[in-house]
A and B are shown apart, each in its own frame.
Chain A
Amino acid sequence: MKIFCNRSQLQHAVQTVQKAVASKTPLPILTGIYLEAKNDKLELQATDYEIGISCTIDANIEQPGAIVLSGRYFQEMVRKLPGESIEISTSTEERTIKITAGNSQFNLLSLPAEEFPVLRQINSENPIIVKDYCLRELIKKTVFACANDEARPIFTGGLLEIKDQEIRLVATNTHRLALKKDSLESGSDQMKLIIPAKILSELARLLVGEDAQDVTLSWQKNQVGIAFDNVYIISRLIEGQFPDYNKVIPPSYTTTIEINTDEFLAAVERVSLLAKDGEYNVAKFNFTNDEVIITSNNPDVGKAYETVNATLSGNGLEIAFNAKYIIDILKNIDSENIIFSLNTELSPACITPDNDSNYTYIITPVRTN
């Protein structure tokens, strides 16, 4: 193999695939980045069997071929190489790869390319096409609500659901639930996929192109393939039955409060400073006619008290929440005001932006004694 390519393009490609390079693995080949050169294109791939990422860039190819390089060293090297053009060539007899840029030259030992599990793209009959900004928004507004603990694997992923020209992403850790909807331009079959939170976050990180573009999702059995721009991601899906989240969204509320988002967020953040009690950050919220009184009490540290103006309709209520769950959602709401809807002090409550009916956040209270 012998190729010439642009340094910044190569760096972008390496950064793209880098998250899929396995760090802890019994299989050394998975610690490598796979490079394949053919038809004036250079394709980079990495996989840890959970997620696989491929990124293709233009290259001037003198001699096609495939190699695998140590992911760690290749990535650090490309970032620091001088000049604009990079030459990569192999010498088969020594099993090394020569990388030349400007006046610097590296010889990296190669890993056996034939051992690399090359990604196979998934071809499903009805792929979904969704705009990148729409998908990014879906992910950013929900993925934080996923569970971290592996004891309940089903909740470590987000449920991507498509139904009647509507796309939804739902994430929950059983104590809070975030749901974001959007409409699709083209209709599609119904489907439900549970995508690991790690992969969703990674996808949101990569979907930052300046021009709007289409993202194509195809799936089969327990895998999903995501294609956009020059990138292809393949991921394992979480298997199992996601519980019926519609059931936990209360159909109506007896109390609704409108509060300024930023003021409320700042107040909750301050009060939560003293709210550390065991593993919960319990803060109490007393909703009255024209204000919310937020308090926390930690016998070992002290007390906090703050009020925020609010407009209430319905009954006043005192309720305790894990302050972290409130802060998480307020940070993700862009509108000026939020609507906080409640029923009783022991039933789930709902927080939504006042201008976006497609975004719902359900939170369970804490039962205090």
Chain B
Amino acid sequence: MGVKTGEVLWQAKQKCPGLVIVPPDFKKYLRFSRMAREIYADYTNQIEAFGIDENWLDVTGAEHISGDGEKIADTIRQRVKSELGVTVSVGVSWNKTFAKLGSDMKKPDAITVISENNFKQKVWPLPVGDLLYVGRATKQKFANRAIFTIGDLAKRNVRDLKLLLGVWGETLWQFANGFDNAPIRQLGEESIVKSVGNSTTTVRDLVNIEDVKLIIYVLAESVAVRLRSHGLKCTTVAISVRNNELISFERQGKISTPTFVSGDIAAKAMELFKANYTWDKPIRSLGVRGADLVTADRHIQLNLFKCDQSDRESLERTIDSLRERFGSYCIQRCAMMIDSNLTGFNPKNDHVIHPVAFTR
């Protein structure tokens, strides 16, 4: 019917009048995702999450217990279906890129095996946009150079691709040829944090600066909490903005002293937003990120014109412990009460997507 991911409901209904709309239940989603992971853990300890509902499993070495990759994939598929009542699609391959690609090829409740013998027939005819990390911009660049399928990409001279996309060109070429050898992380292994960010697609489009301010404060609070829990401060704040036509951009700026205080992060984010958005379209989604992280326990050069930050820092720490004991809504900024529909989400608990560390 032409209904796409990210489309608003009324548009989807216009395209498909009989559309059945099921309200989302994010908590349930997360719970099932966790339960599925428990099943995966019966087969390997190398489980790496990709977003909230996808995982890579490295089952090398488990063949003599549970059978080969295809066998394990089928067992998992059946177990998830019978134990959780949901269907999964599995891609089986010798590298992460093709495994992900395979999982998307046949849906739902299916298994696709991409082996070193058949990948040229199975993978190469696919449009290049299906390859992991080939987004809209890269796809356009490829199209300009007559690269339309993954096979086109694989057969190109790697040096030309390097000229086109830099280091990334070589990486994508390796992916297309199945040379991706990135390991799958061990369960519980966390990568070094490089930046801390939260983003959200809002329940309704944001139409003015007041709306934006609310969301930025919610996101900044979550970023600040997470910075504190890692014992870090950020020296750069970045925002990402996506309008209702799904066009997005990111802007970033430095702050004068490293901080994990939500007010400082939100103020910088607002400054960046005001300087960069012209309100030609309403906003669908916003993100706030703290980067250039430094440890929080370093020396602090005091400021002549600002009072000592330590009071504000301990205030935020106090709020953290209050929330830990009495729940995240026990203490809120007043502004959050203005439109609790809009701000009634908790990015820290609900929306933390452990990022994809693909190239480490």
The interface residues of chain B lying within 8 Å CB-to-CB of A109 are none
Contact indicator per residue, chain B 231-261, by CB within 8 Å of chain A (1) or not (0):
0000000000000000000000111100000
CB pair B300 A367 closer than 8 Å: yes
A-chain residues with CB within 8 Å of residue B253 when the two chains form the complex? 151
Contacts of B256 in A (CB 8 A): 149, 151-152, 174
- B303 is contacted by which of A149, A174, A322 (Cβ under 8 Å)? A174
- Taking a contact as CB atoms closer than 8 A, the residue among A152, A243, A364 that contacts B301 in the complex is A364
Q: Type the 1/0 row for B248-288, where 1 means its CB is closer than 8 Å to any CB of A.
A: 00000111100000000000000000000000000000000
Nearest CB in chain A: distance from B34 CB, A: 38
Taking a contact as CB atoms under 8 Å apart, the answer to whether A151 and B254 are in contact is yes
Distance in angstroms between the alpha carbons of A151 and B299 in the assembled complex: 22
- State A277–B255 Cα separation when bound (angstroms): 20
Question: Is the C-beta of A106 less than 8 angstroms from some C-beta in chain B?
Answer: no
CB distance from A111 to the nearest CB of B (A): 35
Alpha-carbon separation in the docked complex, A187 to B301 (Å)? 39
Partner of B302, one of A172, A277, A364: A364
Within 8 A of A (CB), among B300-324: 300-306, 308, 310
Residues of B within 8 A of A118 (CB): none
B298 on interface, CB distance cutoff 8 Å: yes
B151 to chain A, nearest CB (A): 45
* Nearest-Cβ distance from residue A159 to partner chain B, whole angstroms: 13
Let me know if A55 is at the binding interface, CB within 8 A.
no
A367 touches B305 (CB 8 A): no
Residues of A contacting B302 in the complex (Cβ-Cβ under 8 angstroms): 175, 346, 348, 364-367
Who on chain A is nearest to B235 by CB? A279
With A149-B256, A151-B254, A151-B256 given, is the CB distance from A172 to B304 under 8 Å? yes
**Cβ B254 vs Cβ A367 within 8 A:** no
Determine whether A320 belongs to the interface, using a CB cutoff of 8 Å to chain B: yes
- Give the CA-CA distance A267 to B265 in the complex, in Å: 40
The CA of A320 and the CA of B299, in the complex, are separated in Å by 10
Q: Which of chain A's residues has its CB closest to B310's CB?
A: A367
Cβ-based interface call for A177 (8 A): yes
Which of B297, B301, B304, B305 contacts A366 (CB under 8 A)? B301
Chain A residues, Cβ within 8 Å of B310: 367
Given A346-B308, A367-B310, A280 and B301 contact (CB-CB distance below 8 Å): yes
Q: How far is the CA of A17 from the CA of B294 in the complex (A)?
A: 44
Please judge, given known A-B contacts A151-B253, A152-B256, A367-B310, whether A362 and B304 are in contact too, CB under 8 Å: yes
Contact between B305 and A248, CB atoms less than 8 A apart: yes
Shortest distance between the CB of B337 and any CB in chain A (Å): 33
Question: Which A residues lie within 8 Å of B255 (CB)?
Answer: 151
Taking the nearest CB of chain A, how far is it from the CB of B259, in angstroms?
13
In the complex, are the beta carbons of B304 and A280 less than 8 A apart? no
Structural contact, A175 and B298, CB atoms closer than 8 A: no
Chain A nearest CB from B110 CB (Å) reads: 53
Choice from A152, A172, A175, A367 contacting B299 with Cβ under 8 Å:
A367
- Report A25-56 CB contacts with B as 1/0, cut-off 8 Å: 00000000000000000000000000000000
Closest chain B residue to A147, Cβ basis: B256
CB distance from B320 to the nearest CB of A (A): 19
- Chain B residues, Cβ within 8 Å of A369: 297-299
Closest residue to B296 on the A side, CB-wise? A369
Q: Mark A135-176, 1 if CB is under 8 A from B, else 0.
A: 000000000000001011000000000000000000010111
Is A209 close to B, CB under 8 A? no
**A278 interface residue per 8 A CB criterion:** yes
Q: Determine the residue in chain A with the shortest Cβ distance to B306.
A: A174
CB atoms of A282 and B305 under 8 A apart = no
The reply on A92 being an interface residue by CB < 8 A is no
Instruction: Choose among B254, B297, B303 the residue with the greatest number of A CB atoms under 10 Å from its CB.
Output: B303
Is A368 interfacial (CB 8 A cutoff)?
A: yes
Whole-angstrom CA separation of A133 from B324 in the bound complex: 63
A353-369 to B contact mask, C-beta < 8 Å, 1/0: 00000000010111111
Q: Is the CB of B305 within 8 A of A243?
A: yes
Partner among A151, A320, A348 whose Cβ is within 8 Å of the Cβ of B304 = A348
Q: How far is the CB of A329 from the nearest CB of chain B, in Å?
A: 14
A255 to B178, CA, bound (A): 71
What would 8 more interface pairs be, CB under 8 Å, given A248-B305, A367-B308? A149-B256, A172-B304, A176-B304, A177-B304, A280-B299, A348-B302, A366-B299, A368-B299
A contacts, CB < 8 Å to B: 149, 151-152, 172, 174-177, 243, 248, 277-278, 280, 282, 320, 322, 346, 348, 362, 364-369
**28 intermolecular pairs with C-beta atoms under 8 Å apart:** A149-B254, A149-B256, A151-B254, A151-B255, A152-B256, A172-B304, A174-B256, A174-B305, A175-B302, A177-B304, A243-B305, A248-B304, A248-B305, A277-B299, A278-B299, A280-B299, A280-B301, A320-B299, A348-B304, A362-B304, A364-B301, A364-B302, A364-B303, A365-B302, A366-B299, A366-B300, A366-B301, A367-B310
- Shortest 5 CB-CB contacts between residues of A and residues of B: A364-B302, A248-B304, A367-B300, A366-B299, A243-B305
